[in-house]
A and B are shown apart, each in its own frame.
Chain A
């Protein structure tokens, strides 16, 4: 069977609160960053992206912040809903091989009523 993997960091929030999920990326040459949401049994689903020439980008209820100095990316979800419960991954692309998308560790978001 499938081997047991690493335990994912978990963020538990109450419905209606704001959520902040953090990610450290590895390659200072990466120039494009994406946040994905993955629900159980499904593939990763695009949430929001940001280029390295920006430090903030907003979508519907979501905001991504990029700090290139410390190679840090965050995803903010406003008014978190039960449907937001999932695993969230940051991913980076660019640098030496611009076709290659590399995922961060992932964070499990649990939303309580």
Chain B
């Protein structure tokens, strides 16, 4: 059974049109992460939540925002997508108990 679920698996949006990606977890982990992964590159951390405590990476563009309304759900909002934002977006969770992070299968975002 999938423990970290990302919807949709594929998302197409237009240049400049806001888009929201969603992630849910059944693990009750207190940490949730969003990563951006471009072709042939390692996942790059955008931000993460420790419970409701939001931690933004210094180089994450202001165009990217996140919401975590409860333990199970986390959203990635891209306010005005540009062509350079086309990528795979990965969500991960962790229980901060030195167990490995669990990843979803990602949402592949295309920009027209």
**A residues touching B (Cβ–Cβ < 8 Å)?**
1-8, 32, 34, 36, 41-46, 49, 51, 89, 91, 97-106
Q: Point out the residue from A46, A102, A104 that lies within 8 Å of B100, measured CB to CB.
A: A46
How many residues belonging to B are interface residues under a CB distance threshold of 8 Å? 33
Tell me, in angstroms, the Cα distance from A106 to B55 when the chains sit together.
25
In the complex, A99→B102 CA distance in Å? 13
Residue of B38, B50, B94, B103 near A3 (CB, 8 A) is B38
Give, as a whole number of angstroms, the nearest-CB distance from A85 to chain B.
15
What are the residues of chain B within 8 A of A91 when measuring CB–CB? 101
Contact assessment for A101 and B96 in the assembled complex, using a CB-CB cutoff below 8 Å: no
Can you report 28 residue pairs joining A to B where beta carbons are below 8 Å apart?
Answer: A1-B86, A2-B38, A2-B39, A3-B84, A4-B39, A5-B41, A7-B40, A34-B101, A41-B106, A42-B105, A42-B106, A43-B4, A43-B90, A43-B103, A43-B105, A43-B106, A46-B100, A46-B101, A51-B98, A89-B42, A91-B101, A99-B55, A100-B45, A100-B55, A101-B45, A101-B101, A106-B40, A106-B41
Q: How far is the CA of A93 from the CA of B39 in the complex (A)?
A: 23
Enumerate chain A residues within 8 angstroms of B101, measured Cβ to Cβ: 34, 46, 91, 101
Q: Is the CB of A101 within 8 A of B38?
A: no
